[in-house]
Every structure is written in C-alpha cells, then in structure tokens.
Amino acid sequence: MDYWDRAHTADRIVRWVVGLSIIAMLMAALTSSSSPTPEQRAAASTVYVAINDEGSHGSGVVIAPGVVLTNHHVVEKLDKVSVEFPNGDKREAKVAWKGVNSYDLAVLLVDTKDIKPAAIDCAVSPVGRQVYAHGHPMSLRSITTWGKVASAPIYGDKEIADAVVLDLTITSGNSGGGVWSGGKLVGISTAVLAKGSFFGPPAQTGHSVMIPGSAICRVLGRS
C-alpha cells in the first residue's frame, strides 16, 4: 500500500468515526429531550385543590387512579372540593378520608383519567438527602423549591406524627403538595417553621415540615 492509499484509508476511518460520534450525540440529545425533568415528573402528578371561590387553596398528589393525597388541614371542614389537573381540567372531588391519630393527611376521590400516579418511596429519608417540593404556593402555579432532609422522623408530636424537618422553603398553598427525590414521592408538605415577629406576622425560617413517605405508606397500608 503506497502513501496515497494509506492516506485515503485513514481519511475514511476518520470520517467513519466522526459519523458515529455525530449519530451518538444526536441519539443522546433525543433521549434527553424525551426524558422528563424532576420538576416535570412532579408537576405531572400534582393538582390544585380549590377550597372556596375566594382563592383559598392547597395542593395534592395523584397516588393511584382516582385517588389524590393532600393535607387534612386543607380540607378539614369540607366534604367536597374542586380539583384542577395539570392540563387545566377541573373536577369535583369527594373527601373520602381524613387523617386520624395526628396524621395531617386526607384522601380525595376524583376521576384522574390519564394522570400518571406518583410512585411513593416508603423508606425513611436519611438526613442530608436532596429533595424538592412541588406545589402551588400563594397565587403562583407549579413551583418547585429544592433543599435537604434536615431531621430524622420526630415521633409522638401532639399535632403532627412522624414529622420530618426540611431545609427547604414552602409557603401557603404548598400544603398537601409532594416532596420528591429521584422522581419518587418521599413526603407531603404540611407546615412551615416560623418564629414570632414583634412587628408583624411570624417570619419564616426557611425550614418546613413534611409527613414522610414511611408514614404515608403505613397509613395507606403499603409496605
């Protein structure tokens, strides 16, 4: 093989390698664009729970076909609520169960149609675990905040059983929304940690409280 033949062969090999690289890059781009982000996975299962016509509301998570999980304090005095799904559809939901024994949880029954239910992680989340909360705070829609698990489950609290403190900010309207990690539901947002303010309403500390997935699974009879 003379010089020109070797050069031609090397050029063909280079073109072949470059072609394979381009194909691999295109396939990776297509795969990444079709895979939902953590926020999108959370948003797909999160609903807006309307309490009245004045804008009072909470959030909720579809956990099974026809079943939405939210906070007890969101629907405490109600038998029916209006649920709005990510696609904008609004349907009436029946408050089927309200938490007992200090569990701030409630179950709503509603036609969820093709909404994909969240997968619940029943394990105890370790301190330091990266998590994100998704819900509808205040007058905003579909907001995600990020943080970490800041405590082990706190058992036996008079108001909230199995509370877990998060280094994560939520606010009014987030109640009943999900706390997620790795695409799975690891808890339900239930309260904001706040301290008293001499000049006005309580000031938020940047910490919040969730009912952990381990407690949710226990209440629902899941392992």
* pLDDT of amino acid 4: 46
Q: Structural domain boundaries of the chain?
A: 38-109, 130-220
Fold for 38-109, please state it: Thrombin, subunit H (2.40.10)
Q: What is the pLDDT of residues 41-72, one digit of tens each?
A: 899 999 999 998 887 899 999 999 999 999 99
Question: At 159, is the pLDDT very low, low, confident or very high (cuts 50, 70, 90)?
Answer: low
Average pLDDT over residues 77-89: 94
The arrangement of secondary structure in 130-220, i.e. its CATH architecture, is: Beta Barrel (2.40)
Contacts of 214 (CB under 8 A, 6+ apart): 122, 123, 124, 153, 162
Check for a shared fold between 38-109 and 130-220. Answer: yes
- Burial of 55 (C-beta count, 10 Å sphere; 0-12/13-18/19+): exposed
What pLDDT score was predicted for residue 155? 72
Q: Tell me the per-residue pLDDT of 105-145, one tens digit each, with 9 for 90 and over.
A: 999 999 998 899 999 999 989 999 999 999 999 888 999 99
Its pTM stands at 0.80
Annotate 167-205 with b (16+ C-beta within 10 A) or e (fewer): bbbbbebbbbbbbbbeebbbbbbbbbbeeeeeeeeeeee
In terms of DSSP H, where are the helices of the chain?
Answer: 3-34, 38-45, 213-220
